[in-house]
Amino acid sequence: MNTLKTTVQMAVEKVRWAKGSSLFQDVPSALCQVTMFTLADVSEHCSLNDCWLIICDKVYDITDFLRQHPGGEDIILEYAGRDATVAFHGTGHSSDTVQEMEKYCIGLLIEHERLNLYTEKLLFKP
- The predicted-structure confidence for 3-39, as pLDDT tens digits, reads as follows 544 555 555 565 555 555 554 454 444 445 789 999 9
User: What's the whole-number mean pLDDT along residues 76-100?
Assistant: 89
Q: In this predicted model, which residue has the larger pLDDT, 96 or 118?
A: 96
pTM to 2 decimal places: 0.69
Kindly list the structural domains of the chain, giving each domain's residue range(s) and its CATH number in brackets, ordered by start.
Answer: 2-113 (3.10.120.10)
DSSP assignment of the chain? -HHHHHHHHHHHHHHHHHHHSGGGPPPPTTTS---EE-HHHHHT-EETTEEEEEETTEEEE-TTTGGG-TT-HHHHHTTTTSB-HHHHHHTT--HHHHHHHGGGEEEEE-GGG---TTSS--SS--
- The predicted-structure confidence for 31-81, as pLDDT tens digits, reads as follows 457 899 999 999 999 999 999 999 989 999 999 999 999 888 999 999 999
